[in-house]
């Protein structure tokens, strides 16, 4: 079973995304901020990271940059953010994100993108 770590400070989004992905058969780990996300990344084997950009303690971009510098991981990263401006999107991709979804988003689209990202890992 593929394991996905979802890092999001809005509890409703976190629960909804987790609920939706677990129905698709994924094992979900939830993190409520960037710090929590980094801790869980250290202790768990994760196949995909879905992260928000603006989170307390450590923001999404910092998570991505630490992940790339410390773990040298090939794990795909998807960003979920309300910031739809071109600069934000480009910055996230530049830091190492593989996909970017702007809020409000569709859960069906999210599931499709997750499937594609996990398939590309293979």
Retrieve residue 27's tokens: 């094992």
If phi > 0 it is left, if psi is from -120 to 50 it is alpha, else beta; for residue 7 that is beta
Q: Which of 57, 109, 115, 121 binds another protein (CB under 8 A)?
A: 109
Scan residues 5-64 and list those touching another protein (CB under 8 A). Answer: 10-13, 15-16, 19-20, 23
Q: Does 108 bind another protein (CB under 8 A)?
A: yes
Nearer to another protein by Cβ, of 23 and 115: the residue is 23
Nearer to another protein by Cβ, of 18 and 46: the residue is 18
DSSP letters of 62-103? Answer: HHHHHIIIII-----EEEEES--SHHHHHHHHHHT-SEEEES
Q: Please give the residue ranges that form the binding site for another protein (CB under 8 A).
A: 10-13, 15-16, 19-20, 23, 84, 103-109
């Amino acid at each position: 079973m593929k394991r996905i770590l979802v890092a999001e400070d809005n509890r409703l989004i976190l629960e909804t995304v987790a609920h939706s992905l677990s129905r698709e058969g994924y094992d979900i780990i939830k993190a409520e901020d960037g710090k929590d996300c980094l801790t869980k990344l250290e202790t768990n084997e994760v196949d995909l990271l879905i992260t928000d950009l603006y989170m307390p303690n450590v923001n999404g971009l910092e998570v991505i940059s630490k992940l790339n510098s410390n773990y040298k991981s090939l794990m795909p990263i998807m960003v979920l953010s309300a910031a739809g401006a071109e600069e934000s999107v480009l910055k996230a991709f530049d830091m190492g994100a593989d996909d970017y979804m702007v809020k409000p988003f569709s859960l069906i689209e999210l599931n499709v993108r997750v499937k594609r990202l996990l398939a590309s890992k293979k």
